[in-house]
Amino acid sequence: MNSNNFIAADYASPTAVGRNLVPGLLSAPIHHPDQGRRGELYPKTDARFWRQRLLSRSFHFLPGGEPENHFAAQIEYAGTGGFFPLGPSEAAAAAGAVKIYQALVERGWDFVCRRFPRELTVRLSWCANPVLRTYATIHTLVAPPAMIRPPAAADERRVLILESDAGIRRALEWCVDQQAGLCSVTCESEKSFDKAFDSHQPALVLLNQNMAARIGWQSPGQMGPLRNGVPALAYDCSADVGGFFSSRVAGTRGCLFMGVEPQHLLEPIPIQAGQMSFSADEILARVRALYKILLQPSSGRDISALATLTPRERHVLALVSEGRMDKEIAAALVISVWTVHDHIKSIFARLRVHTRTEAAVRYLAE
User: The CATH number of the domain where 253 resides is what?
Assistant: 3.40.50.2300
- Which of residues 59 and 173 earns the better pLDDT score? 173
Residues 6+ positions from 109 with CB-CB distance below 8 Å: 77, 78, 80
- Counted domains in the chain: 1
- Which of residues 256 and 11 earns the better pLDDT score? 256
Highest mean pLDDT, choosing among 119-123, 170-174, 241-245, 278-282? 170-174
Q: Would the pLDDT of 31 be above 60?
A: no
Do the strands 230-238 and 119-128 form a parallel or antiparallel pair, or are they unpaired?
Answer: antiparallel
- Which of residues 360 and 345 earns the better pLDDT score? 345
How much is the average pLDDT of 170-189? 91
Q: What is the pLDDT of residue 280?
A: 79
Which of 53, 52, 59 has its CA nearest to residue 25?
A: 59
- Per-residue pLDDT band for 7 (boundaries 50, 70, 90) equals very low
Q: Would the pLDDT of 47 be above 90?
A: yes
Residues 6+ positions from 240 with CB-CB distance below 8 Å: 19, 20, 21, 22, 23, 24, 323
- Average pLDDT of the chain is 77
- Which of residues 258 and 351 earns the better pLDDT score? 351
| Torsion angles phi and psi, residue 223, rounded to 5 | -60, 140
Q: What is the pLDDT of residue 229?
A: 86
Q: What is the pLDDT of residue 241?
A: 58
How much is the average pLDDT of 121-128? 87
Q: What is the pLDDT of residue 175?
A: 92
Backbone φ/ψ region at 87: left (φ over 0), alpha (ψ -120 to 50), beta = left
Count of helices and strands (H, E) across the chain:
12, 12
CA–CA gap between residue 157 and residue 287 (Å, rounded) = 19
- Which of residues 46 and 10 earns the better pLDDT score? 46
Q: Would the pLDDT of 44 be above 60?
A: yes
How much is the average pLDDT of 255-283? 73
Whether 187 is covered by a domain: the verdict is: yes
Residues of the domain holding 272: 121-289
Whether 335 is covered by a domain: the verdict is: no
Whether 54 is covered by a domain: the verdict is: no
Please check whether residue 359 is in contact with residue 329, taking contact to mean a CB–CB distance below 8 angstroms.
no
Whether 359 is covered by a domain: the verdict is: no
Q: Which amino acid appears at position 68 of this protein?
A: E
- Per-residue pLDDT band for 355 (boundaries 50, 70, 90) equals confident
How much is the average pLDDT of 322-327? 76
Whether 213 is covered by a domain: the verdict is: yes
Whether 143 is covered by a domain: the verdict is: yes
How much is the average pLDDT of 116-137? 86
Q: Would the pLDDT of 39 be above 70?
A: no
- Which tens digits make up the pLDDT trace of 193-242? 999 999 999 999 999 999 998 898 887 688 888 888 899 999 998 876 55
CA–CA gap between residue 323 and residue 303 (Å, rounded) = 20
Q: Would the pLDDT of 5 be above 60?
A: no
Q: What is the pLDDT of residue 298?
A: 47
- Per-residue pLDDT band for 325 (boundaries 50, 70, 90) equals confident
Whether 126 is covered by a domain: the verdict is: yes
Whether 342 is covered by a domain: the verdict is: no
- Which tens digits make up the pLDDT trace of 58-110? 666 667 666 667 888 889 899 888 889 998 899 999 999 999 999 999 999 99
Q: What is the pLDDT of residue 16?
A: 31
Q: What is the pLDDT of residue 240?
A: 64
My answer on whether omega of the bond before 130 falls inside 30° of 0, hence cis, is yes
Please check whether residue 45 is in contact with residue 93, taking contact to mean a CB–CB distance below 8 angstroms.
no
